[in-house]
Amino acid sequence: MSMELFELINNLSLKLNEVLLNAGMWAPLISSLLIIAEGILAFLPLVVFVTINILSLGYIVGGFVSWIFTIAGSFLAFLLFRKGFSSFFQKKIENSKKLEKFMDSIDNLKFRQLVLIIAIPFAPSFFINLGAGLSTISIKKYFYALLIGKVFVIIFLGYIGSSILECFTNPIILIKVVLLILLAYLLAQVVNKKFDLDGRF
């Protein structure tokens, strides 16, 4: 991505942030509903909605509400793609060796790898939900991966606020992103070892 694109995204986020802050007591409700929509609409900046919830409700309550709604939005999107487009997409896979190979790699993702992908703060939820929904990944496995992965997404987004541009220009923040993702990976490994999610699902 170019610096101009970063600035465009940052300006959009700041504008949405301003609009929601002027919504008063309705701001947390509106931002939470937009968090659900973000699971399907890739262009919506999740960081803005998480920031609004934390500013309105406090870090703990706002973060918890954001985590719940982020999981709900992603899981609903996953189910929509799984139930609504899976059969149609399966026909496309059968006619494309490259697509079939790509989907096989998604189907075979380990639990810790799935959590790792979900935990990347700026990975578009839409594409992750789409890929998982069209794959054969177990519904329970994806749900549990969301529970862990989204924790670290919310922690990071709540920490940086709505300054997206700074995340890509400040090496300290980038290091913290890597550390959070690594922590998510290690936690997923511990959970999987304890409950054998790869084996059960």
111-119 vs 125-134: helix crossing angle, rounded to 10: 150
Q: Which residues of 100-122 are buried (b: 16+ CB within 10 A; e: fewer)?
A: eeebeebeebebbbbbbbbbbbe
Q: Cα–Cα distance between 129 and 72 in angstroms, integer?
A: 12
3-state SS, 34-63, equals HHHHHCCCCCCCHHHHHHHHHHHHCHHHHH
Helix and strand counts by DSSP (H, E) for the chain: 12, 0
**Whole-model pTM?**
0.87
Q: Would you give the DSSP letter of residue 78?
A: H
pLDDT digits (tens, 9 = 90+) for 138-193: 999 999 999 999 999 999 888 776 555 566 667 787 788 788 888 999 999 998 88
- Delimit the domains of the chain by residue range: 3-200
pLDDT digits (tens, 9 = 90+) for 32-55: 999 999 988 877 888 889 988 998
Phi-psi region of 74 (alpha: psi -120 to 50; beta: other; left: phi over 0): alpha
Q: What angle (nearest 5°) sits at the alpha carbon of residue 75, between those of residues 47 and 97?
A: 100
Q: Cα–Cα distance between 13 and 45 in angstroms, integer?
A: 6
CB atoms within 10 A of CB 164: 22
Handedness of CA 193, 178, 118, 36 (dihedral sign): positive
Going by pLDDT thresholds of 50, 70 and 90, the confidence category of residue 116 is very high
